[in-house]
């Protein structure tokens, strides 16, 4: 994996003494102060604002070079450059404030990149109607997410070697220092985990195979308190996991079911996470068209999100719950032994499925993992994350993740988590009218309807069959795992979506009342 480590530290000296590349202040629109009153920086800001070139609008950035105009004009600021970043007009909605800070963090990363800064100091705003932990967290998270690059496969240009930020420093700006330190640490953990998921996704199909998922999980297990179990092809055969094995038939790479367990206390509820780990989806015999097929290396983003979330929760700690993560991992290719339309497979637990379209493979591997995970770990609640259907892109575009599920309270908890972290979710219905579309004449169920109508819903209906009554939420991230809404902290390519939503939701877990069962 590429090494992108940026040292992120707390800075407890006077910001004007910082002699590094870039000193950053955040400015709300209409507020003429960037820092505590009495600081020279406010006089610099006043001069900039007089020109009318910088108002503090959302995402607006303004760089000045205080030393260039002479020592007197620098107002005592020692940094090479000063960057003002706009936060826009004050907004009362708390989730918008969180998002503004993440966006500001991303803008700082972009600007730092543009001037090739190696050392950046950000002075936090003294007040922003959020507690100091959150201010520190959102800004460091936004910065580290925005600073992400993946250049493992590029040779560095000799005349123009890449320069990256090596040290990102935070000054409390008058906020409680211990709270800022805590926020900075949370932001670092969440951003690093999200970037780890992006790294896995950026790897091509020949750089990230099912075996790489297994290796990654083993390493996580070794260096943390996660218990790792890898089920290989022989184990899957013994367990009769016909979905994972069926999809794997056309591939030369062996399949795995990767399991990570995070245990706190037996008395605590267990939450099961399942992520689609399809390391390349050609469609199989029902082949996809060639244009854009290279993007199907991203078909493992659900699995990446789930593993990365586990990596973050060991560091952050979620003392109220136990968490089990399952990643069924295989390729979907069309080798001589590949699954064919019309074939019938049997899932873990015995349900038979008629294969109508070998490109509807995600549900086949998830079905085994869900059925096995629920039977084995008896979770109180389940979340699966998958790049499952092209139809979700037609419905929601690249801005919202599709959410479907059998329990309103659980769906609500996920929706709230997504809104807090800037990964919005939108619920679609489930129901018997859709379920009928996947009735099979010859088997218990078929893996695709006879037309494409309601494709995201019929896919979820398929999964529902293997979940039953356990509170369950399915996140269809096909539209958001890459090409996600352009944001300063989400560079082009894989977004790492799901990691921060999953962790936030686990941190905020509230028991689900069993009375609230739907569908």
Is 160 exposed, middle or buried, given 0-12, 13-18 or 19+ CB atoms closer than 10 A? exposed
Say how far apart CA 402 and CA 456 lie, in whole Å: 8
Among Zn ion, ligand BES, none, residue 21 binds (CB under 5-8 Å by kind)? none
157 is catalytic: no
Among ligand BES, Zn ion, none, residue 66 binds (CB under 5-8 Å by kind)? none
Select from 151-159, 362-370, 446-454, 469-477 the region that touches Zn ion (CB under 5 A).
362-370
Q: Which of 359, 384, 465, 476 binds Zn ion (CB under 5 A)?
A: 359
Count residues binding Zn ion (CB under 5 A): 6
From the list 167, 218, 288, 427, the catalytic residue is 288
**In the 8-state DSSP scheme, what is residue 97?**
H
Give the three-state DSSP class for 261.
strand
Rounded least distance, CB 296 to ligand BES, Å = 6
145 closest CA partner among 196, 95, 87: 196
Question: Smaller CB distance to Zn ion: residue 271 or 301?
Answer: 301
Rounded least distance, CB 453 to Zn ion, Å = 18
Contact between residue 384 and residue 477 where contact means Cβ atoms under 8 Å apart: no
Rounded least distance, CB 27 to ligand BES, Å = 39
Instruction: Write out the binding residues for Zn ion, residues 188-227 only, by CB under 5 A.
Output: none
Rounded least distance, CB 388 to ligand BES, Å = 6
Between the CA atoms of 217, 222, 228 and 233, what dihedral angle is there, to the nearest 10 degrees? 60
Among ligand BES, Zn ion, none, residue 478 binds (CB under 5-8 Å by kind)? ligand BES
The answer to whether residue 331 forms part of the interface with Zn ion (CB under 5 A) is no
Question: Smaller CB distance to Zn ion: residue 120 or 257?
Answer: 257
Rounded least distance, CB 288 to ligand BES, Å = 7
Q: Where do contacts with ligand BES occur on this chain (CB under 6 A)?
A: 281, 299, 357, 359-362, 387-391, 448, 455, 478
DSSP 105-162: HHHHHHHHHHTT-SEEEEEPPS--SS-HHHHHHHHHHHHHHHT----TTSPPPTTS--
Question: Smaller CB distance to ligand BES: residue 141 or 361?
Answer: 361
- Give, in order, the Cα–Cα distances in Å from 405 to each of 78, 271, 353, 506, 512: 55, 15, 21, 17, 14
Question: Smaller CB distance to ligand BES: residue 185 or 299?
Answer: 299
The answer to whether residue 119 forms part of the interface with Zn ion (CB under 5 A) is no
Tokens representing 104 are 């500001």
Rounded least distance, CB 62 to Zn ion, Å = 45
Question: Smaller CB distance to ligand BES: residue 56 or 479?
Answer: 479
- Residue 468: alpha-carbon gap to chain centroid: 27
219 is catalytic: no
Residues in the chain, total:
519
Give the three-state DSSP class for 498.
coil
Contact between residue 35 and residue 123 where contact means Cβ atoms under 8 Å apart: yes
Say how far apart CA 173 and CA 149 lie, in whole Å: 29
Q: Mapped to the 3 state alphabet, what secondary structure does 56-84 carry?
A: CCCCCEEEECHHHHCCCCCCCCCCCEEEE
Rounded least distance, CB 511 to ligand BES, Å = 34
Rounded least distance, CB 73 to ligand BES, Å = 54
Question: Smaller CB distance to ligand BES: residue 221 or 255?
Answer: 255
Block residue for tokens 């944001």: 487
Q: Which of 134, 299, 368, 384 binds Zn ion (CB under 5 A)?
A: 299
Question: Smaller CB distance to ligand BES: residue 146 or 498?
Answer: 498
Contact between residue 105 and residue 138 where contact means Cβ atoms under 8 Å apart: yes
Select from 34-42, 267-275, 360-368, 435-443 the region that touches Zn ion (CB under 5 A).
360-368
Say how far apart CA 282 and CA 252 lie, in whole Å: 14
From the list 81, 346, 363, 507, the catalytic residue is 363
Give the CA count within 13 Å in the CB-facing half-sphere of 406.
23
The answer to whether residue 281 forms part of the interface with Zn ion (CB under 5 A) is yes
Q: Which of 142, 146, 183, 362 binds Zn ion (CB under 5 A)?
A: 362
DSSP 314-342: HHH--TT-EEEEEEEEEEE---TT---TT
Question: Smaller CB distance to ligand BES: residue 119 or 299?
Answer: 299
Catalytic center residues: 288, 363
Which residues are at the interface with Zn ion (CB under 5 A)?
278, 281, 299, 359, 361-362
């Amino acid at each position: 994996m590429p090494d992108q480590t940026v040292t992120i530290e707390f800075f407890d000296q006077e910001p004007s003494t910082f002699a590094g590349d870039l000193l950053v202040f955040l400015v709300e629109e209409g507020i003429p102060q960037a820092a505590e009153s009495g600081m020279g920086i406010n006089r610099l800001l006043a001069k900039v604002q007089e020109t009318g070139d910088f108002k503090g609008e959302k995402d607006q950035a303004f760089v000045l070079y205080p030393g260039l105009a002479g020592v007197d004009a620098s107002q005592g600021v020692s940094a090479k450059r000063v960057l003002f970043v706009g936060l826009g007009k004050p907004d009362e909605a708390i989730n918008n404030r969180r998002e503004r800070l993440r966006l500001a963090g991303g803008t700082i990363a972009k600007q730092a990149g543009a001037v090739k800064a190696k050392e950046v100091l950000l002075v936090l705003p003294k007040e922003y109607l959020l507690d100091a932990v959150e201010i520190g967290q959102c800004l460091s998270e936004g910065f580290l997410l925005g600073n992400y690059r993946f250049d493992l496969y590029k040779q560095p240009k000799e005349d123009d070697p890449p320069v990256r930020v090596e040290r990102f420093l935070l000054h409390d700006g008058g906020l409680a220092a211990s709270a800022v330190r805590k926020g900075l640490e949370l932001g670092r953990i969440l951003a690093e985990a999200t970037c780890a998921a992006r790294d896995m996704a950026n790897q091509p199909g020949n750089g990230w195979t099912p075996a790489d998922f297994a290796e990654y999980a083993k390493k996580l297990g070794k260096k943390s308190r996660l218990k790792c179990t890898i089920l290989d092809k022989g184990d899957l055969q013994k367990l009769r996991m016909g979905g994972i094995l069926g999809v794997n038939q056309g591939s030369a790479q062996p399949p795995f079911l990767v399991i990570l367990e995070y245990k706190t206390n037996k008395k605590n509820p267990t939450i099961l996470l399942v992520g689609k780990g399809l390391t390349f989806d050609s469609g199989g015999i029902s082949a996809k068209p060639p244009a854009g097929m290279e993007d199907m290396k991203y078909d493992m983003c659900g699995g990446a999100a789930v593993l990365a979330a586990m990596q973050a929760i060991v560091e952050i700690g979620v003392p109220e719950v136990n968490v089990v993560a399952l990643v069924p991992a295989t390729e979907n290719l069309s080798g001589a032994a590949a699954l064919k339309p019309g074939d019938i497979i049997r899932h873990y637990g015995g349900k038979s499925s008629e294969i109508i379209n070998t490109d509807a493979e995600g549900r086949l591997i998830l079905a085994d993992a869900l059925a096995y995970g629920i039977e084995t770990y008896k979770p109180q609640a389940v979340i699966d994350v998958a790049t499952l259907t092209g139809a979700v892109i037609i419905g929601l575009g690249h801005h919202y993740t599709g959410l479907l599920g059998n329990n309103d309270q659980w769906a609500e908890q996920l929706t709230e988590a997504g809104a807090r972290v800037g990964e919005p979710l939108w619920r679609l219905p489930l129901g018997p009218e859709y379920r009928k579309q996947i009735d099979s004449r010859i088997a218990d169920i078929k893996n695709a309807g006879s037309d494409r109508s309601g494709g995201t819903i019929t896919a979820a209906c398929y999964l529902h069959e293997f979940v039953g009554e356990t509170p369950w939420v399915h996140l269809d991230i096909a539209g958001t795992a890459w090409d996600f809404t352009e944001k300063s902290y989400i560079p082009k390519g894989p977004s790492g979506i799901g990691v921060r939503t999953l962790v936030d939701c686990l941190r905020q877990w509230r028991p689900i009342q069993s009375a609230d069962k739907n569908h």
